[in-house]
Amino acid sequence: MLNALHDWPPASGTEHRVICAVGRIGIVVGGDPTGVLDRLVDQQGHEFPGRIRAAVLKRVAEPIVRDALRLLGTDEDPSWTTLYKVLELIGRDLGNEHEITNRGWASRNQIGRFRQSANNWEASGLDARHAIDWTPPKDAMLIHEARQFIRELVSKWLVRAPAG
């Protein structure tokens, strides 16, 4: 049985919960209308958080999934660099990042906005992946938006059928 690790109020005031799937691996879910929690956890007849869905448990055995979850579970406030690595792992698992948009999990615009914001010194300051100045995106993604974007993407990726 998997259980809640802890709750905390992020800066946005939205309540989030961390579900520990394997020791030192966390998945942050909850408190939003995106259905992330429903995709990962079967809450019927259980107190929060309920049981991790069977499809997700099967995926946790895959090394690439464990790597992505370890990255997200290392810090409750993952950095741009960590989030970017998770995006790259998902793309690698799917064969390429275009599969993310092909599956309807995110738009090209969302991925582009995330990438430009993560990489751009003017958009993300000291936490940016690069210290090169170039024109930032017009609608730069804030780090809390990026965390939510990647967590939602991970939840969609986890419930898909495993490769092979």
SS3 31: coil
Instruction: Work out the average pLDDT over 18-41.
Output: 60
In a domain, 93, yes or no: yes
d(CA 132, CA 130): 6
Radius of gyration of the chain (CA): 16
Q: How many C-alpha atoms does 102 have within 13 Å on its Cβ side?
A: 7
- Quote the pLDDT of residue 88: 94
- Quote the pLDDT of residue 7: 38
Q: 10 Å Cβ neighbour count for 149? A: 20
The total of structural domains in the chain comes to 1
In a domain, 53, yes or no: yes
Between 150 and 133, residue with greater pLDDT: 150
Q: Is the pLDDT of residue 94 over 90?
A: yes
Q: Evaluate whether 90 touches 100 at the Cβ level (below 8 Å).
A: yes
Which of 82, 86, 80, 70 minimizes the C-alpha distance to 113?
80
Task: Identify the domain containing residue 108 by its residue range.
Answer: 4-159
In a domain, 137, yes or no: yes
In a domain, 131, yes or no: yes
Q: Is the pLDDT of residue 100 over 80?
A: yes
Q: Give residue 121's pLDDT band: very low, low, confident or very high (50, 70, 90).
A: low
Cis amide prior to 49 (ω within 30 degrees): yes
pTM: 0.75
d(CA 63, CA 69): 10
- Quote the pLDDT of residue 111: 94
Specify which residues 52 forms β-bridges with: 41
In a domain, 164, yes or no: no
Ranges 45-54, 76-85, 86-95, 115-124, most confident = 86-95
In a domain, 68, yes or no: yes
Tokens at 101, concatenated: 């948009």
- Quote the pLDDT of residue 104: 94
In a domain, 78, yes or no: yes
In a domain, 30, yes or no: yes
